[in-house]
Chains A and B, each alone.
Chain A
Amino acid sequence: MSRARVLLSLLLLLLLVFPAFSGPYALSVATLILYFAYTGQAWNVMMGFAGQLSLGHSLFAGLGAYAAGALFFHFGIGPWAGVWLAMAICALAGVLIGFLAFRFGISGVYFALLTIAFAEFTRVGFDHIDWLGGPGGMFLKVAQRDQVDLLHFRGPPVMYYYAMLLLAAGALAVCSWLLRSKTGYYWQAIRENEEAAQALGINTFRYKLAAVAISSAMTAISGVFFAFYYNNLFPEQIFNISRSIEIILGPVIGGVGTLFGPVLGAALLTLLAEGITELMQALGWEIPGAKQVFYGFTLLVVVMFLPNGIWPYVAKKLRL
């Protein structure tokens, strides 16, 4: 086994036994880390692998959350069915945006703006859908929190932790496989030089659409998790551009296009942000927006000193 595999197995083992030693607060922070690691991984498929910058991934998280949430809220159908609907809707939405953009040669910054636009008008649109609660939000019934009800994905925090661990580990495995597949090679070729990729026989339109579809469907799952973990959904929050930024900060700081970057980035950011919140509470300070300022500062430092992200640097130090 390679060093990388040994270290990864150790980490997985550690995460598996973690709930046995942690308190409820540490468990919630760990769940949040895994949530961002997973969602960052999903975003990374599109930007890191295929080079298509989305700044509107909150759209897919939101659509996924509302799709599964509404099925549960109105019809009592649990997330195991809802997740498929969520993935289908998000993949479709992603393909629609991708089709519009790639068909008409919109790329780079303009493509990113298009993704923001879709997220924004969906946010505004959802404010007017009364069936989904409108601006007042949709609230999923919260059952007792001590029994594990896997069928309806209801249970104690530790159940959510393991679900998220499974998702994050699964996404890492899937992405690792994708990156080494023909599709992964084609994505990277498109990312590095689209014209040359096309000259080598790659149908760039189709492969870019595939990247968007896979990335948005993966993000849908994180939305479903969000709905059933937090039990309340507001368009103003879940479709907000700040959510999109939160999603991409992990992979950007960890290393865009790397497999472990999103995981490392999510861990660093979440831990530091929680640390700062704790510190300010202890000091009795109340500064609104301090977390955002901190995110901005971290991004600045990473961009200045490690523009490829922290993971490539760490990987080199660990001789992976």
Chain B
Amino acid sequence: MTPLLDIRSVSKSFRGLKAVSNVSFPVPQGSIVGLIGPNGAGKTTLFNVIAGAFAPDSGQVVLEGRAIQALRPDQVCAAGIGRTFQIVKPFPGLTVLENVVVGALHRTGSVREAEEKSFQILETLQLAEKCNLPASTLTLPDRKRLEVARALATRPRLLLLDEVMAGLRPTECDQLVEVFRRLNGAGLTILLIEHVMRAVMKLAQDIVVLHHGEVVARGAPAQVVRDPAVLECYLGEETEV
């Protein structure tokens, strides 16, 4: 079966610095894939390439057999990929509901219909009581949830989550994990960048580890966390003392 998203030998440099180097991996239909790695490993750059914010220097991003690496971000969204931003980008002057409505309007011309859809999504993400507050008043964890709500409102088939668990309390984290599990159960494929291992281990069926822009390990969570290459890039080389 062809994967929903296939990253094929993608490279991206910034002024000679290789941020992403020859990265390839598939995201199977209906799966949850975790993308981990130390700070500066190139995870967010890869997300930006997938989402159309950066064009890759070489390689292909293939969504259901269609190369999408030359598309603009709005076209990537139309193709069925929703994304969140690691550094959250709410529309601060709009209310929480209006923020989500902007996303929902992507699939409908009716503002009323978009409002109803948006309210449902906010309920799922436990932001419904705050729907009439300006987005600028939200705390950081709430803003992260708003990012998710907005992206979901565009009705993506693939959701890119960039560190949405950061700053959440363990119980909140578990709640969000539940939400993603349910969405995944309903057919949504998820690719997530996450530092909170508690969440990654619970969600991901497959983990890809990036280090210095390269894939250093790939596999099932339990297997990846014991991989010496992974331990090395996170903790440094084991040396005899």
Contact = CB atoms under 8 A, between A and B. Distances in A.
Interface of B: 51, 53, 72-74, 77-78, 83, 85, 89-94, 98, 101-103, 105-106, 109, 111, 114, 150-151, 153-154
Interface stretch (A1-9, A10-18, A131-139, A189-197): A189-197
B33 to A, nearest CB: 20
Q: Which 4 A-B pairs have the closest CB atoms?
A: A192-B91, A201-B77, A196-B89, A201-B106
B93 A199 contact: no
A35 interface: no
A202 B74 contact: yes
A200 interface: yes
A204 B77 CA distance: 13
A300 B206 CA distance: 59
B89 A195 contact: yes
Given A185-B101, A185-B102, A199 B94 contact: no
B85 A199 contact: yes
A199 B106 CA distance: 11
B137 to A, nearest CB: 14
B93 A188 contact: yes
Contact of A192 (B74, B85, B94): B94
Contact of B89 (A185, A193, A204): A193
A79 to B, nearest CB: 35
Contacts of A200: 74, 77, 102-103, 106, 150-151, 153-154
28 contacts: A180-B111, A181-B111, A182-B111, A185-B102, A185-B111, A188-B91, A188-B93, A188-B98, A192-B93, A192-B94, A193-B90, A195-B53, A195-B73, A196-B89, A197-B91, A197-B102, A198-B72, A198-B74, A199-B53, A199-B89, A200-B103, A200-B151, A201-B74, A201-B103, A202-B106, A203-B72, A203-B74, A257-B93
Contacts of B94: 188-189, 192
Interface residues of A, number: 21
Nearest to B106: A201
Interface in A162-201: 180-182, 185-186, 188-189, 191-193, 195-201
A204 B105 CA distance: 14
Contacts of B109: 182
A204 B90 contact: no
Contacts of B89: 193, 195-196, 199
A132 to B, nearest CB: 42
Q: Which of A188, A191, A197, A201 has the most CB of B within 10 A?
A: A201
Contacts, number: 77
Interface majority SS (helix, strand, loop, mixed), chain A: helix
A197 B43 CA distance: 22
A275 to B, nearest CB: 34
B154 A196 contact: no
Contacts of B101: 185
Contacts of B53: 195, 199
A196 B93 CA distance: 14
Q: Which of B91, B98, B151 has the most CB of A within 10 A?
A: B91
Contacts of A181: 111
Nearest to B89: A196
Q: Which of A181, A189, A195, A257 has the most CB of B within 10 A?
A: A189
Nearest to A185: B102
B237 to A, nearest CB: 39
Contacts of B90: 192-193, 196
Nearest to A193: B89
Contact of A186 (B72, B77, B105): B105
Contacts of B102: 185-186, 188-189, 197, 200, 202
Contacts of B151: 199-200
A208 B85 CA distance: 23
A195 B106 CA distance: 15
B209 to A, nearest CB: 26
Contacts of B92: 192-193
A185 B93 CA distance: 12
A97 to B, nearest CB: 22
B91 A196 contact: yes
Nearest to A207: B74
A198 B73 contact: yes
A185 B98 contact: yes
Nearest to B77: A201
A185 B83 CA distance: 19
B77 to A, nearest CB: 4
Contacts of B98: 185, 188
A197 B92 CA distance: 12
A178 B212 CA distance: 48
B53 to A, nearest CB: 7
A202 B74 CA distance: 5
Contacts of A182: 105, 109, 111, 114
Q: Which of A182, A197, A204 has the most CB of B within 10 A?
A: A182
Nearest to B105: A182
Contacts of A198: 72-74, 77
